[in-house]
Structure 1
């Protein structure tokens, strides 16, 4: 990956880590699936306005509406539903580690379905280190929450697999502007989520909230969804599905760092260990440092 790719990956990890702040506030008064609808619909509206202001046509997305409905299912509707279901029965620590397996599934799916992202030892080693880092950041609480029914664990793993297929599927949109891809996915997600929410909830359940909740929803939709998905699809087009999926390793790390910086929380020793393992995993997946070291060793022998 280039320096620009790494910058976008780190920024995306920070944004999606920050989304936990806003979601934690909003979910106190808004049902989870309704929050999903608000998140995707407001983000879609903002991006449509942005396209209009920049005179960028949305017509290419309309012409491929079936593909965008598939992307929305794989990247929003299915994984959100599976994660919400699984978390009714298993702890957040275990769920986050299962979610962090997304790069592993992406490596495997990309190896099967693409010609340019084949399996390598460095990728597998890096992903394994990253998953270990995510588990280490949970600390002792990870083992205390290891119980729960098998179906709930499989639901969260199913969400990770769905994200993997979504990352690979999104590569077919590399000929389109990332902002158009983001707008198309979020528009399709809004179309799919609207009937689900209105069938499940009364209007009083999803409309009654105070101003702080609506501010949190707006921040969640505009900053950590609309802008973040532009970065995500740009990263897929530039660095590939496997590298883009590494953001799932950064999300728990950035959430903990943000909590430390803005909420006065303290990092525990095991959290420092987790951060070190995640950083090591990114270096291994990138491969440049290992290749540089190998060239030095060869130079010394010659």
Structure 2
């Protein structure tokens, strides 16, 4: 059980940390909403075929479909509309840093929807996380253009993260009601893809398809690895250990995303970025580990953080 949980945790971190670098590859000739519809439409098709091949039950009641549709719109629809828009103006690694605040959002929403108690550590962690995000984005904020594209991207990322957190709550509710993860994901992705396709059609967007290796490769990766495997791993983990603890993987995947952004997007680490990421991680750790362990971790990594900052 423990081994399986660790595998699910590690898979989620590595997969989702890498998907942020693939999202900007979807921007260009194909409108963002259409790309998302392609992504989750393909993922839904693969999941439904797999469920059929393994003879899983695919018959559910109307009320169950409503809940699966709600999960789909929050996790595979509206949130990605905002993330894809934000990706046009800031690097994927920075979006991942913003997305890591979902750990605090999940705990707060868990208190609102499930009556879970919010500790002082959560409040302190949220404050550290927000301060860290401000530091990470300080160079971008200083160089804001006339239309405030960077600020707009930050806000879009935060709203998208909150929608994702709300989707986590719906998924937790669905699993507590005995709705299976794979079937819920299959139908949820289908509903999300359908609604986004309708939105794109209503906007008059063109349903074109780019045949370049960059676009098709990133689409296949996002659909099959990022969506089918990534969401399967995370939502299984969520059902097993709860939305608050499942969100702990968000502590690590921004580091994976920023590392990839450094290599592929020429992201430059500034002293503010090093300090900011450190604060985000510290805030998340403060939320998820006991106080004494947190202080022990800080004592271990403080010299390393200080040394890297001085080297910058």
TM exceeds 0.5? yes
- The answer (yes or no) to whether the contact 1:87–1:152 under 8 Å persists in 2 is yes
Q: Displacement of 1:81 after TM fit?
A: 3.4
Encode CA deviations 1:9-61: one digit per residue, 9 max, x unaligned. 44323212211232222213321111110111111111112212322222248
- More displaced 10-residue stretch of structure 1: 103-112 or 269-278: 269-278
**Alignment partner of 1:105 is 2:92:** no
Residue matched to 1:223: 225
Residue 183 (structure 1) aligned to one of 179, 183, 186: 186
Is the 1:136–1:270 contact (alpha carbons within 8 Å) kept by the matching residues of 2? yes
Q: 2: distance between equivalents of 1:164 and 1:211?
A: 33
Cα shift at 1:128: 3.5
Matches within 5 A, 1:124-273: 124-138=123-137, 140-145=139-144, 148=148, 155-174=156-175, 175-201=178-204, 203=206, 206-260=208-262, 268-273=270-275
- CA-atom RMSD in angstroms: 3.6
The DSSP-based 3-state class of the residue aligned with 2:74 is helix
State the distance in 2 between where 1:154 and 1:259 align: 20
Distance 1:40 1:285, change over 3 A: same
The secondary structure found in structure 2 opposite 1:56 is coil
- In structure 2, C-alpha distance between the alignment counterparts of 1:129 and 1:6, rounded to whole Å: 27
TM-fit CA distance, 1:182: 1.8
CA distance in 2, matches of 1:195, 1:25: 23
Q: Which runs of 5+ in 1 are unaligned?
A: 295-302
Cα drift, residue 228 of structure 1: 0.7
Contact 1:122 1:284 in 2 (8 A): yes
In structure 1, C-alpha distance between the alignment counterparts of 2:86 and 2:263, rounded to whole Å: 30
Asked if structure 1 preserves the Cα contact closer than 8 Å seen for 2:106 and 2:168, the reply is: yes
Instruction: Give the structure-1-normalised TM-score.
Output: 0.77
C-alpha contact (below 8 Å) 1:178/1:233 kept by paired residues: yes
Supply the distance in 2 between the matched residues of 1:272 and 1:160 (Cα, whole angstroms).
22
Residue 107 to residue 12, structure 1, CA distance change in 2 (3 Å)? same
Q: Is the 8 A contact 2:262 2:268 kept in 1?
A: yes
| Cα shift at 1:85 | 5.7
Count of paired positions = 290
The residue number in structure 2 matching 1:300 is none
1:66-105, aligned counterparts within 5 Å?
66-83=66-83, 99-105=99-105
TM-score between both structures, scaled by the size of structure 2: 0.75
> Relative to structure 1, is the Cα distance of residues 200 and 248 closer, same or farther in structure 2, using a 3 angstrom cutoff?
farther
Give the deviation of 1:264 after TM superposition.
8.2
Which aligned pairs between 1:1-16 and structure 2 lie closer than 5 A?
A: 5=5, 8-16=8-16
Query: Unaligned regions of 5+ residues in structure 2, if any?
Result: 297-312
The superposition leaves residues 223-260 of structure 1 with CA deviations (integer Å, 9 ceiling, x where unpaired) of: 11111111121122122222333445544322112344
Q: Distance in 2 between matches of 1:266 and 1:151?
A: 21
Instruction: Tell me by how many angstroms 1:155 deviates.
Output: 4.8
Aligned to 2:39: 39
Q: Give the Cα–Cα distance (whole angstroms) in 2 for the partners of residues 16 and 152 of structure 1.
A: 19
